[in-house]
Amino acid sequence: MNFSVVGSQFFPLLINGLALGFIYVLVSVGYTMVYGVLRLINFANSEIFMLGTFATAIVSTSVFKFNQNSQPSHGMKLFIVLLCCLLASMATSGVVAVFVELIAYRRLRTKGANRLGSLISAIGTSITLSEGVRILTHSIPVASPRVLSKFYVFKIHGVGLRIDQLLTIASGLLLFIAVDRFVTKTRMGKAIRAVSMSEENSKLMGINLNRVISLTFLIGGLVTGAAAFMYMTVYEQTVFNVGFNIGLAAFTAAVLGGIGNLRGAFYGGLALGLAEEYFSALLGSQWKEITVFVVLVLVLLVKPNGLFGEAVQQTRV
Amino acid sequence: MRLEINDIHVYYGKIEAIKGISVVVNQGEIVTLIGANGAGKTTTLKTVSGLRKVSSGQIIFDGQDISNLPAHERVEIGISQVPEGRGIFPGMTVLENLEIGKYFRKNRASEMSEDLDRVFTLFPRLKERISQAGGTLSGGEQQMLAIGRALMARPKVLLLDEPSMGLAPMMIQNIFNIITEINKSGTTILLVEQNAQQALQRAHRAYILETGNVVKEAKASDLLNDPAVRAAYLGTGAEHAV
Ligand SMILES: Nc1ncnc2c1ncn2[C@@H]1O[C@H](COP(=O)(O)OP(=O)(O)O)[C@@H](O)[C@H]1O
Ligand SMILES: [Mg+2]
């Protein structure tokens, strides 16, 4: 074990952990919102993320003609390119999420199928999407050319905050706050909360259940798509199964925070991002992925309701 | 307003819970369905509100067959149900619970304060607890909230499923007084109760349900004085009941 690394690298690890953590937070929101209304783990969320990463890669290379030799952009052009990539990822993931619900879950739900049926459909959808992209890309990773030159926004005593990290942290935080406020303050958001507390009683309020469920998948997808864009600005590469690790980590983060609970996804995502960075510094980077599994198993063993488990139960009467 | 339940049959899987029930509710009435546990009272109400589907028979509302209308659209045409066990959204405040009662009337924001005032006049206690979480209210307060929330939709007919369930005698009186008051101000009521004494005292007409069938239909006051009904549903000491 290398404790001195954790000490000397405390702040850099913190920044890396937060950037990773906010990506997890947003993907967790995708899992947790769907779980909140349907009590279903949407396994296809990892592929909804994956398709979002490809959207950014395709827009930057095909629309804006970036390639591995082109120079990073600046000024207005940079802003437009990033914005277009972000919107493309969000739209792709959002639309795919809505269609996944329509095609893979809705009929099962209206026919009164049990949870296991939906779960199998979720896994099937996930495999179908990732295998489809595997065939289209011949399993070859797709690099996204560097649009944003990764300069340091500031650097103090060797501790620097890179622009892509700053973007990820700031926009992750803003998006999360936006979703949280939408759900707690707006009329449609309250309908989502009502459905998550009771489907039957929501119908008695005149709430159109199918519409609320579509809206929930849309929001979950949009946020997951934003995470996909951030992932691409930081890691600059994607592959058909990129969603597997991220999806598993985000799902773990959701369980850690208490699945179905929006703020749980926030704290769970950040905690997991930080844990991954610190543990891999401590034990060696080969342990990075294993951290996720260990956390998942520990939470399920010790506190299956997650950190905010009680709040989750309260919303489930 | 006229609600007709026309020879409905309702199944849970292969089990037939409602075996041909017909009920009529006219404008301005309080009609009550009484009967033992499992008789099919809740299922009948849920079929009217659209939570359960008929396998045959019709629900006719103002001359229109609404048997296939989804539940959320029935609220829009004036049918509101207060579910058994109240169905409060526990994690929402009293105010949020009331507001969501008007969910579908999205373009009528101006009605909101008017309707809230009406509910708070009926239930001053809700106003005191406006920002308390629904799940932390007492049983009686939850019942008030459930009724108030249903009224926010401005129903033509209010379906009440055992509003007295689990309440103290004082609170039962209180709730029934308010039900009578709501009816007097023009809302038609279909009331399901196991507390037959109270229900028959308040209602105009009554139907007795047994295992998915209507076994008797009469003016409520006649049933109150019917010895057979008294023996079966009101118990011998019923004269002294609250
Ligand atoms: N969700 C359900 N699944 C299966 N059977 C049910 C369900 N709900 C009610 N039943 C059955 O339908 C019959 C009528 O029940 P219900 O309408 O709740 O009666 P009541 O409200 O008069 O007590 C009962 O035999 C009950 O067991
Ligand atoms: Mg009942």
Question: How confident is the model over A15-39, as pLDDT tens digits?
Answer: 999 999 999 999 999 999 999 999 9
Residue A159: the pLDDT is: 80
Contact B18, B43 (CB under 8 A): yes
Question: How many CA atoms are closer than 13 Å to the CA of B125, on its beta-carbon side?
Answer: 13
Q: What is the rounded average pLDDT for all residues in chain A?
A: 91
Spans in chain B with pLDDT lower than 50: 237-242
First to last CA, chain A: 46
Antiparallel, parallel or unpaired: β B79-82 and B64-65: unpaired
Q: Residue A303: its pLDDT value, please?
A: 86
pLDDT in tens, A175-215: 999 999 999 999 999 999 999 999 999 999 999 999 999 99
Considering only CA atoms, which residue is closest to atom 14 of ligand 1? B40
Q: Is the pLDDT of residue A276 over 70?
A: yes
- Within 8 A by CB and 6+ apart from B8, the residues are B18, B20, B21, B22, B44, B47, B54, B56, B57, B58, B59
Ligand 1 within 6 A of CB of B43:
yes
Tell me the fold of B2-78+159-241: Rossmann fold (3.40.50)
DSSP for B190-242, please give it: EEEES-HHHHHHH-SEEEEEETTEEEEEEEHHHHHT-HHHIIIII-GGGGG--
pLDDT at A70: 78
Contact flag B101-A315 (C-beta cutoff 8 Å):
no
Nearest to B63 by CA among B155, B156, B1: B1
pLDDT score at A293: 87
Ranges of CATH 3.40.50.300 domains, chain B? 2-78+159-241
The whole-number average pLDDT for the span A122-129 is: 96
- State whether the beta carbon of B17 lies less than 6 angstroms from ligand 1: yes
Domain boundaries of chain A, sorted by first residue: 13-242
- pLDDT over 60 at A41, yes or no: yes
> What is the percent of chain A with per-residue pLDDT over 70, rounded to a whole number?
97
pLDDT of residue B206: 98
Return the bridge partners of B25, or none: B3
Query: Hey, which residues does A156 pair with through a beta bridge?
Result: A159
Q: Which residue has the higher pLDDT, A238 or A302?
A: A238
pLDDT digits (tens, 9 = 90+) for A47-103: 999 999 999 999 998 888 888 777 787 888 889 999 999 999 999 999 999 999 999
> Whose alpha carbon is nearest atom 16 of ligand 1?
B40
B90 contacts A315? CB cut-off 8 A: yes
pLDDT (average), residues A282-293: 86
Q: Are A29 and A49 in contact (CB under 8 A)?
A: no
Q: Which residues in chain A are closer than 8 Å to B76, comparing Cβ atoms?
A: 206
Contact B51 A203 (CB under 8 A): yes
Judge contact between A115 and A250, C-beta under 8 A. no
pLDDT at residue A146 in the model: 84
| A239 alpha carbon, distance to own chain's centre | 16
Model-level pTM? Answer: 0.92
Nearest-5° Cα angle at B241, B181 to B233? 90
Q: What pLDDT shows up at residue A196?
A: 94
Q: Which residue of A191, A204, A209 is in closest CB contact with B87?
A: A204
**Burial degree of A142 (CB within 10 A; 0-12, 13-18, 19+):** middle
pLDDT at A309: 65
Does residue A5 or residue B51 have the better pLDDT?
B51
- From B5, B9, B11, B15, give the residue whose CB has the most ligand 1 atoms within 8 Å, as the site to mutate: B15
Enumerate the residues of chain A whose CB falls inside 8 A of the CB of residue B87: 198, 200-201, 204
C-alpha of residue B11 to centroid of ligand 1, in Å: 10
